[in-house]
């Protein structure tokens, strides 16, 4: 009996211990990391603490900066190394300690949303992946930064081009800052130059996406097994034709997903894009491409990334925004095959920018966050540290000031820390050092001018608020996501699919959404004195 009871108690204790062990272990490990960051802080921080002691300044504020990468995610020790360098700089300059949180582009928004929803500390984050800043403003997670525009963010506000703050303004208050340098984005088509030369393709004839059919036919004849188009980038084609050529403005959506009503040109009538001739024409062309075998058979369901397809050497071409006019050289360096790009459309900005940096409304240090945000927009050291890593270790600059790989590395994408593909995603991209093979001084100035003078929709600044029709809006969005890849890759029978989809959308309340958008647009035009 006694032994039995003893065993029972022992079992009980072990179970309890095992339960609590999980918990203590967790706290221990988090303690470990914070201790780690403190312990590994370089000597310079100690110096700064001495400085702060001397000036009797307050303890530095601690903020979390969530940003994204399209390169490989660096090892944590390398990220920590960059973080320490950054802190050495920011503590001295703005008395703020910045913790870096880095996510892959594809999972950035999901992670940030979970952090925001779960109440984890994240002070500065960005709208992307189809979560426009409007959603964050609506759900209350974006801080009203209007008052900082005259103080901590003044330098940034002054560098912005006219109207850039309009798309982050709701009810006269400003909630975020769009990145500078994404206003002028013509669509490009990048192709393998080795194959083009071999087949003697005349690229001078190509000026729109419709001219590509002929090229693809020739390549398909010579290389029947080659994938001619990267299916994951097909929304660029919709942008090239519908947005930049036909001047469609999806008023809150992007051109590849124009599901909640659009306008064409300066005509303020909101229409369903899927009933327009323009959409039909493009969808039919893509259907033809698919039927001719220009895509892989599983294009609509494939999950292969550009990197996987291009590095395999079996991809002839892909579409890309030419925000960086020399994007093709980037592909060449990263994927190992020679690519060149051709412009297939001009640039045309829609009513709405998507890419604003926001400050979390629950932040404990809004001023420190604003100060650091200002640095990402205005400070070349901070910008390049985030983009290329530590000078001398992750990159070096040649005699002309171009960024090249340090000794021992083949390319700047192989180094321990680099975020060079995303260099335009934070602050002002013109702060970034130029890479060898990229823009020369002339291109650089031209790009800057183009951006400040980019052509924009007549309705630039209009922000659609779908709160009143949220249920319908979400329902339509879900229906569209069933069909979108089919339309992007032409793998659907366009005529039947369009009819079926439109029918379902109207049943789910598309008309209500169109009416709501129209009413808001009319009201907006009246208040802005647009005829």
Partner 1 sequence: MKKCRPSYQNKKSNTLSMMLIALPGVLYLLINNYIPMGGLLLAFKDYKYNLGILKSPWCGLKNFRFLFVSGDAGIIVRNTLLYNAAFIVVGTILSLTVAILLYELGQKLYARFFQSVLLFPHLISWIVASYLFYALLNSANGFINNTVMPALNLNTFDWYAEKKYWPAILLIAYLWKHTGYNAIVYLAAISGIDKSLYEAAEMDGASRIKQIFSVTLPLLKPTVTIMVLMAIGRIFYSDFGLFYQIPMNSGAITRVTQTIDTYVYKALMTNGNFSLSSAAGFFQSVCGFLLITAANWIVRKVDPDNALY
Q: Please, what is the minimum distance in Å from the beta carbon of residue 102 to partner 1?
A: 20
**Residue 8 interacts with partner 1 (CB under 8 A)?**
yes
Give the residue with the Cβ less far from partner 1, 375 or 475: 475
Distance CA 104, CA 178 (A): 20
**Residue 16 interacts with partner 1 (CB under 8 A)?**
yes
**Residue 472 interacts with partner 1 (CB under 8 A)?**
yes
Distance CA 271, CA 34 (A): 54
Which stretches of 371-456 are assigned E, i.e. beta strand?
396-397, 403-404
Return the ∠ at Cα 454 (arms to 518 and 262), rounded to 5°.
20
Which residue in the set 507, 523, 526, 528 belongs to the binding site for partner 1 (CB under 8 A)? 507
Q: Please, what is the minimum distance in Å from the beta carbon of residue 206 to partner 1?
A: 28
Q: Please, what is the minimum distance in Å from the beta carbon of residue 300 to partner 1?
A: 6
Cα-based distances in Å from 368 to 62, 64, 99, 365: 8, 10, 12, 5
**Residue 226 interacts with partner 1 (CB under 8 A)?**
no
Which residue in the set 3, 19, 277, 529 belongs to the binding site for partner 1 (CB under 8 A)? 19
Q: Which residues contact 198 (CB under 8 A, 6 or more apart)?
A: 222
Q: Please, what is the minimum distance in Å from the beta carbon of residue 214 to partner 1?
A: 25
Give the residue with the Cβ less far from partner 1, 109 or 419: 109
Please tell me the count of residues contacting partner 1 according to CB under 8 A. 45
Of 308, 273, 324, 502, the C-alpha closest to 429 is 324
Q: Tokens 């000031």 correspond to what residue?
A: 401
Distance CA 187, CA 237 (A): 8
**Residue 141 interacts with partner 1 (CB under 8 A)?**
yes
Q: Please, what is the minimum distance in Å from the beta carbon of residue 37 to partner 1?
A: 27
Local structure of residue 254 (DSSP, 8 states):
-
Which residue in the set 173, 297, 364, 410 belongs to the binding site for partner 1 (CB under 8 A)? 297
Distance CA 423, CA 387 (A): 5
Which residue in the set 251, 385, 483, 520 belongs to the binding site for partner 1 (CB under 8 A)? 483
Would you say 476 and 260 are in contact if contact means Cβ atoms under 8 Å apart? Answer: yes
Q: Please, what is the minimum distance in Å from the beta carbon of residue 174 to partner 1?
A: 16
Binding flags for partner 1, 347-386, as an x/- string (CB under 8 A): --------------xx------------------------
Give the residue with the Cβ less far from partner 1, 347 or 363: 363
Q: Please, what is the minimum distance in Å from the beta carbon of residue 227 to partner 1?
A: 9
Q: Which residues contact 177 (CB under 8 A, 6 or more apart)?
A: 145, 153, 156, 160, 165, 168, 356, 357, 373, 377
Distance CA 270, CA 416 (A): 49
Give the residue with the Cβ less far from partner 1, 81 or 484: 484
Helix or strand holding residue 447 (H, E) = helix 441-452
Binding footprint of partner 1 on the chain (CB under 8 A): 1, 5, 8-9, 11-12, 15-16, 19, 109-110, 113, 116-117, 131, 135, 139-141, 296-298, 300-301, 303, 361-362, 470-472, 474-475, 477-479, 481-486, 491, 507-509
């Amino acid at each position: 009996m006694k032994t039995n009871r003893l065993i029972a108690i022992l079992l009980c204790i072990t179970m309890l211990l095992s339960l609590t062990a999980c918990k203590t272990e967790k706290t221990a490990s988090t303690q470990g990391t914070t201790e780690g960051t403190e312990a590994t802080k370089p000597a310079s921080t100690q110096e700064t603490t001495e400085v702060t002691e001397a000036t009797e300044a307050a303890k530095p504020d601690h903020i979390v900066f969530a940003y994204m990468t399209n390169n490989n995610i660096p090892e944590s020790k390398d990220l920590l190394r960059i973080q320490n360098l950054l802190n050495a700089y920011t503590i001295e300059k703005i008395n703020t300690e910045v913790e870096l949180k880095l996510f892959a582009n594809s999972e950035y928004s999901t992670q940030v949303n979970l952090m925001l929803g779960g109440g984890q500390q994240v002070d500065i984050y960005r709208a992307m992946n189809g979560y426009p800043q409007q959603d964050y403003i609506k759900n209350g997670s974006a801080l009203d930064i209007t008052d900082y525009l005259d103080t901590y963010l003044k330098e940034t506000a002054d560098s912005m081009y006219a109207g850039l703050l309009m798309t982050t303004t709701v009810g006269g208050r400003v909630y975020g800052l769009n990145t500078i340098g994404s206003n002028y984005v013509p669509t490009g088509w990048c192709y393998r130059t080795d194959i083009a030369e071999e087949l003697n393709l005349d690229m001078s004839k190509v000026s729109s996406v419709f001219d590509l059919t002929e090229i693809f036919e020739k390549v398909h004849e010579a290389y029947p097994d080659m994938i001619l188009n990267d299916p994951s980038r097909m929304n660029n084609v919709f942008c090239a034709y519908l947005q930049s050529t036909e001047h469609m403005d999806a008023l809150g959506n992007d051109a590849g997903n124009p599901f909640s009503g659009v306008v064409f040109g300066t005509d303020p009538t909101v229409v369903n894009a899927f009933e327009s001739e323009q959409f039909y024409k493009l969808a039919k062309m893509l259907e033809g491409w698919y039927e001719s075998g220009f895509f892989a058979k599983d294009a609509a369901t494939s999950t292969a990334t550009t990197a996987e397809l291009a590095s395999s050497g079996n991809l002839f071409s892909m579409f890309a925004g030419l925000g960086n006019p020399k994007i093709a050289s980037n592909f060449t360096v990263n994927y190992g095959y020679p690519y060149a790009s051709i412009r297939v459309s001009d640039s045309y900005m829609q009513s709405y920018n998507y890419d604003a940096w926001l400050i979390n409304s629950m932040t404990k240090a809004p001023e420190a966050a604003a100060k650091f945000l200002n640095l990402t927009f205005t400070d070349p050291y901070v910008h390049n540290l985030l983009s290329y890593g530590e000078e001398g270790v992750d990159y070096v600059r040649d005699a002309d000031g171009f960024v090249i790989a340090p000794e021992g590395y083949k390319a700047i994408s192989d180094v321990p820390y680099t975020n060079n593909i995303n260099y335009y995603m934070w602050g002002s991209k013109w702060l970034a050092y130029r890479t060898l093979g990229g823009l020369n001084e002339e291109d650089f100035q031209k790009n800057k001018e183009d951006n400040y003078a980019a052509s924009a929709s007549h309705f630039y600044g209009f922000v659609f608020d779908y709160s009143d029709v949220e249920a319908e809006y979400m329902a339509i969005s879900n229906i569209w996501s069933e069909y979108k890849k089919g339309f992007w890759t032409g793998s659907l029978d366009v005529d039947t699919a369009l009819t079926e989809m439109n029918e379902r959308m109207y049943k789910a309340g598309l008309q209500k959404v169109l009416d709501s958008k129209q009413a808001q647009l009319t009201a907006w035009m009246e208040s802005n004195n647009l005829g």
